[in-house]
C-alpha cells in the first residue's frame, strides 16, 4: 500500500473546485508587526484595484 497513487482530483462532483486563473499568480508571505497587518492589507488591495482600473 505504500506506493498507492494519490488522487489528484479536487472533489467528487464534476467541475467542483477553484477554476484556473487566466493569469499567473504567486503566493508571497512575510512577517510584520501585528499592528501593521491591516494597514498593509489595505494598501495592497488599494494598489491592486488602482492598477486594474487601467485595464478596464
The pLDDT of residue 23 is above 60: yes
Could you tell me how far CA 7 lies from the centroid of its own chain?
A: 22
Question: Is the pLDDT reported for residue 2 higher than 80?
Answer: no
Average of per-residue pLDDT values in the chain: 84
Whether the predicted pLDDT of 1 surpasses 60: no
Angle at 6 between CA 5 and CA 8, to 5 degrees: 125
Residues 16 and 9: their CA atoms lie apart, in Å, by 10
The domain limits of the chain are 28-56
Mean pLDDT of 7-12: 66
| pLDDT tops 90 at residue 48 | yes
Amino acid at each position: 500500500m505504500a506506493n498507492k497513487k494519490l488522487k489528484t482530483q479536487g472533489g467528487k462532483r464534476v467541475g467542483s473546485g477553484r477554476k484556473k486563473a487566466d493569469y499567473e499568480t504567486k503566493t508571497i508571505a512575510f512577517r510584520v508587526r501585528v499592528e501593521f497587518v491591516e494597514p498593509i492589507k489595505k494598501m495592497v488591495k488599494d494598489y491592486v484595484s488602482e492598477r486594474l482600473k487601467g485595464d478596464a
